[in-house]
Amino acid sequence: MRRILVTRDHREVALSDLSLPISLWPPETPLEIEIGFGKGRYLLSRAAEAPERAFLGIESAVKYYRLANQRALRRRSANVVTICGEALFLISCCLEPGRAEAVHVYFPDPWPKIRHQRRRLFEPENVDLVLSLLRPGGRLFFATDHTEYGALVARLLEGHPDLEVEARSGPWPDGPRTNYEAKYVREGRSIRRLVATLREDCERPSLHPEGAAGVVVGW
């Protein structure tokens, strides 16, 4: 695994220089997380709109991670921390569970080939990892143009006992949130948008019924 990088206060450090789980803000500070922030369009615009909130972005592509950090520096974004690494590993080992008011996942790689599908962010065996980032009442925002993957994610979320799921019939109130979304809207592509809310009485999401059998527990 390549070295995981973290940019905080516009300075880059190695993950090994931080204590785990990563906790960079007071617990009362509202936190939003974007997984796969790309060039930083939504992450940075949202951070500018809500300076009282903290924003954590995860991106696996080094060139986009560095580009977004350059943009954050130019904008003097003081409430943004970015991490370059694989999301599922970071969620399982490095991030604080039950902390985020919102998790944003827009146009993730659908990994359509069967041999690659284990890399998907949303699969029955790992969807609980993504949901574990949410605090009770927190919301997951999702969008994709990939018909098959969108149907799978919708089925997974709707079948989770700890979620209430809304399928949006139109665009987000603030318009396209990523460069991909703006491009696909111009092209007239169909986009599936979902908002899943974790129950207020749920301290930690349970395993998905479809994925529980595939999770091995040792003691």
Active site residues: 109
φ/ψ (deg, to 5) at 143: -150, 145
Burial class (CB in 10 A: 0-12, 13-18, 19+), 112: exposed
As given in the structure block, the two tokens for residue 195 are 């908002």
Residue at token pair 């996942």: 105
Q: Are 193 and 143 in contact (CB under 8 A)?
A: yes
